[in-house]
């Protein structure tokens, strides 16, 4: 299919056919396509100034950072562009923090990550991917990462040492199949980090910003991370906007000149980002996701034992796991497309280790 226009939850292809877009740009379109408030903010800013570089300040950067910190209950904001850049920035920050604050000898800091992770596509990030298709052929890889099974607290604790800078994980693993970890796991990760004097980094790029029915997926468990990576919906589906947000004592280790971005925090990004923050501050999208998500999951669960092995996820975010012997995910997605519903198949290769 070839899309030519879109509005709200609907897209139209070149033949004029309409489809319900359930993928929602992998959470980049949490407010729907072309939300009027977001388009208006972008159009208005296009008539003023779009880019200054970070050599010069501009009049929206301070407000954007303050409002994003307020929204997320954090103290400091590092604006970037793509999600992968936010994750890279969090990795750099955690290493610097370990070397400068925790006292880990320079160049030996380790970051513990989870099997089945998806954090982006840069060479460092694919270095700790467990998806062979994402890795194969792209080496040599960046060292300093330890992979443990997702959802297994004992394995996590066993992997942590005095060199551990951080644990980096998705509160709900998106690309692994929209996997929600076992109850208590995320609070257990927090406790393990506290015990080891390590940072907890939550990659909320896909799970955050209302998709699961809360602002952040970690909010379901009342757990606070030291750093969060945000992206996707932060740009309202209009342009790439990402950020690392977190505690001042952590993000503040970066000194001027040690990190940067030509486009990060540009005026257009800040204008759209502030409009996104205003939508999220209203709580409307979180409650819509809770309400419609409960309905979606109730209805999807009726398919279990009718060709569906299980339905995972939270809010308006669901993974439908097809029972062995059924169609491939690709076939199911194409059959749904024929009925005017867009979703995306996935072939998680590493969810077997998830305790259930």
Ligand X SMILES: *Cc1c(COP(=O)(O)O)cnc(C)c1O
89 binds ligand X (CB under 6 A): no
Member of 31, 97, 118, 128 binding ligand X (CB under 6 A): 118
314 binds ligand X (CB under 6 A): no
Interface segment toward ligand X; rule CB under 6 A; list 34-42, 49-57, 83-91, 255-263: 83-91
212 binds ligand X (CB under 6 A): no
Tokens 């070839």 correspond to 2
Member of 32, 171, 188, 231 binding ligand X (CB under 6 A): 231
Member of 45, 72, 206, 212 binding ligand X (CB under 6 A): 206
Among the listed residues 237, 334, 236, 327, the one whose alpha carbon sits nearest the alpha carbon of residue 278 = 236
Integer Cα distance of 65 and 68 in angstroms: 5
Active site (catalytic) residues:
118, 203, 232
Please give the order of strands across the beta sheet that includes 199-203.
76-80, 242-246, 227-230, 199-203, 164-169, 110-114, 145-148
Integer Cα distance of 81 and 241 in angstroms: 4
Size of the site for ligand X (CB under 6 A): 14
Integer Cα distance of 26 and 316 in angstroms: 12
What phi and psi, each to the nearest 5 degrees, are found at residue 338? -60, -25
Task: Write the interaction track for ligand X spanning residues 238-277; mark x where CB under 6 A is met and - where it is not.
Answer: ----------------------------------------
131 binds ligand X (CB under 6 A): no
Interface segment toward ligand X; rule CB under 6 A; list 3-11, 112-120, 145-153, 295-303: 112-120
Member of 174, 181, 265, 315 binding ligand X (CB under 6 A): 174
Tell me the two tokens of residue 62: 């301070």
Virtual CA dihedral for 187, 192, 195, 201, nearest 10 degrees? -80
Interacting residues with ligand X between 5 and 64 (CB under 6 A): 26
| Residue numbers at the binding site for ligand X (CB under 6 A) | 26, 82-84, 87, 118-120, 170, 174, 203, 205-206, 231
């Amino acid at each position: 299919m070839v899309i030519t226009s879109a509005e709200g939850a609907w897209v139209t292809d070149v033949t004029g056919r309409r489809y319900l877009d359930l993928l929602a740009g992998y959470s980049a379109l949490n407010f729907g396509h072309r939300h009027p408030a977001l388009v208006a903010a972008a159009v208005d800013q296009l008539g003023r100034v779009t880019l200054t570089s970070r050599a010069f300040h501009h009049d929206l950067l301070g407000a954007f950072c303050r409002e994003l910190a307020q929204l997320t209950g954090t103290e400091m904001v590092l604006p970037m562009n793509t999600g992968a850049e936010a994750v890279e920035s969090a990795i750099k920050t955690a290493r610097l923090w370990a070397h400068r604050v925790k006292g880990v000898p320079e160049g030996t800091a380790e970051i513990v990550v989870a099997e089945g992770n998806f954090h982006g596509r840069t060479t460092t990030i694919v270095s700790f991917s467990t998806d062979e298709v994402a890795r194969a052929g792209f080496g040599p890889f960046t060292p300093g990462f330890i992979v443990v099974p997702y959802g297994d607290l004992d394995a996590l604790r066993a992997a942590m040492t005095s060199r551990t800078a951080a644990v980096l994980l998705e509160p709900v693993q998106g690309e692994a199949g929209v996997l929600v970890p076992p109850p208590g796991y995320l609070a257990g990760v927090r406790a393990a980090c506290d015990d080891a004097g390590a940072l907890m980094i939550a990659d909320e790029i896909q799970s955050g910003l209302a998709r699961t029915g809360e602002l952040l997926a970690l909010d379901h468990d009342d757990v606070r991370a030291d750093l969060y990576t945000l992206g996707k919906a932060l740009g309202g589906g209009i342009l790439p906007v990402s950020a690392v947000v977190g505690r001042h004592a952590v993000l503040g280790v970066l000194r001027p000149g040690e990190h940067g971005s030509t486009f990060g925090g540009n005026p257009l990004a800040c204008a759209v980002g502030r409009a996104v923050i205003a939508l999220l501050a209203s709580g409307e999208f979180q409650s819509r996701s809770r309400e419609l998500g409960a309905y979606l999951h109730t209805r999807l669960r009726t398919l279990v034992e009718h060709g569906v092995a299980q339905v995972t996820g939270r809010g308006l975010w669901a993974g439908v796991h097809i029972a062995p012997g059924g169609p491939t995910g690709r076939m199911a997605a194409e059959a749904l497309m024929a009925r005017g519903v867009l979703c995306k198949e996935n072939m998680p290769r590493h969810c077997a280790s998830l305790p259930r």
